[in-house]
Chain A
Amino acid sequence: MIGDERDKEALSALMDGEAQELELRRLLSAIASDAALRERWRRQQQVSELLQNRDIQRPDIDVSKRVAASLSHRSTLSRNPLWSMAVAASVTFAVVMGGQMLIPSAERPVSPLISDIGGAVVPVMGAQPVQASLGAKPLPVTNRQAEEASSAARQVGAAYERLARDRYLSLNGQHADAAALIHPAPYVLSLHTDIGAPAKDQDSQ
């Protein structure tokens, strides 16, 4: 049986739920490039319905191409790696910038407040260090306390920045890998392969 006939018979079996998984896979590929096979599926479904319900007349419309076009357009937008890269880059940028805003810098010196009741100074991201005041009037911290708080805040800030950078590099790597699969210049890959080839040939000679 030639391939074309085999596909037609598999199509008939698929209508009846009797096709094998392998046949289904082959048919889906064949139908994507064979308009006649696709039309046959549509026509034979109609005949099957007519055989089962002899007295019906129904609109003979075909919206399948419009549906497929609409869905593949949406699908292309949502699956394009460049789109996902752009989204990931935007999110990463926002995270990094947000982190930067919270990190204390020389231009934004810490001017902490502190109560006159002794207590620990706790560095808080994006906030000035304060002591629990328990209703007393807040007072500026001593120089030593301020330096300790400032140092701790810088350490937290540096750790946060390092995390954000690692996250960015990781995301960037993932999307570069994905983009490489549909690289617009596949010769780059072949070139890389070709570079090694002559050396191998020489070795064999």
Chain B
Amino acid sequence: MTASETDQQLVQRAQRGDLRAFDLLVLKYQGRIAALVSRYVADASEVEDVTQEAFIKAYRALDKFRGDSAFYTWLYRIAANAAKNYLVARGRRPGADATIEDVEAFGDAELISQSASPEAVAMGDELAGVLEAALQALPEELRAALTLRELEGLSYDDIADVLGCPVGTVRSRIFRAREAIDERVKTQISGDSGFR
């Protein structure tokens, strides 16, 4: 199973009216969607409003999502349209360089590097530093498991083959690695820090 299959699992439950499953999708993607919206809309409170609207529209249209594309791709298009419609409704011209195709063609990093404030960049750098330190401080077996998962995108089965240990051990190591990192970065992430 992959992460996108988890999305599919959550989507199917949300399609049956399970708001808790949709909540997990919102929590998972709101940062990326906000980043996309901020490509169109500069004001932080407007970014929040449009992001919220995008998720509500997505929920309402969820029964039309058939899983032909990844959920995130589908959501991405809804959010881009919501942002453009928002600008049009306010008599503002959507940026000529911000078509959906253009936005999709950009990587997230390039998107944000053009719109993030210097403070956001500084906070992001700080968090990245803390994260890097936390990763390096992990015991070797935990770091290896987490790196193979997060950076290489391997499944638990594949990681178990690479590391020569049972799948249950892989699962446990990745969990413990995340716990250790979480302890070190949660003060940076939690709370209303504005931009991370």
Beta-carbon contact of B174 and A63 below 8 Å: no
Beta-carbon contact of A67 and B112 below 8 Å: no
Instruction: Kindly identify which residue among A15, A31, A61 contacts B34, using a CB–CB cutoff of 8 Å.
Output: A61
Beta-carbon contact of A47 and B172 below 8 Å: no
CA distance A51 to B135 in the complex (A): 9
In the complex, residue of chain A having the shortest beta-carbon distance to the beta carbon of B132: A54
Beta-carbon contact of B19 and A57 below 8 Å: no
A204 within 8 A of B: no
Beta-carbon contact of A70 and B52 below 8 Å: yes
Q: Among B1-9, B63-71, B81-89, B96-104, which stretch is in contact with chain A?
A: B1-9
Beta-carbon contact of A57 and B121 below 8 Å: yes
* CB of A23 to closest CB in B, whole Å: 11
* CB of A73 to closest CB in B, whole Å: 11
Range of interface residues on A (Cβ < 8 Å) = 35 or more
Instruction: Kindly identify which residue among B5, B21, B32, B175 contacts A58, using a CB–CB cutoff of 8 Å.
Output: B32
A38 within 8 A of B: yes
* CB of B11 to closest CB in A, whole Å: 12
Instruction: Kindly identify which residue among A16, A47, A55 contacts B3, using a CB–CB cutoff of 8 Å.
Output: A16
Instruction: Kindly identify which residue among B120, B151, B193, B195 contacts A51, using a CB–CB cutoff of 8 Å.
Output: B151
Range of interface residues on B (Cβ < 8 Å) = 35 or more
B17 within 8 A of A: yes
Indicate the member of A17, A56, A66, A72 with the most B CB atoms within 10 Å.
A56
Beta-carbon contact of A67 and B123 below 8 Å: no
Which residues of chain A are near B185, meaning CB under 8 Å?
Answer: 43, 47
Beta-carbon contact of B26 and A12 below 8 Å: no
A43-B190, A57-B196, A61-B47 known; A71-B182 Cβ under 8 A: no
CA distance A202 to B53 in the complex (A): 63
Which residues on A are within 8 Å of B, measured CB to CB?
A: 8-9, 12-19, 21, 24, 28-29, 31-32, 38-64, 66-68, 70-72, 75, 79
Known: A61-B48, A67-B22, A71-B19. 12 other contacts (CB 8 A): A17-B5, A24-B9, A24-B13, A56-B108, A56-B109, A57-B196, A59-B34, A59-B194, A62-B192, A63-B48, A68-B19, A75-B19
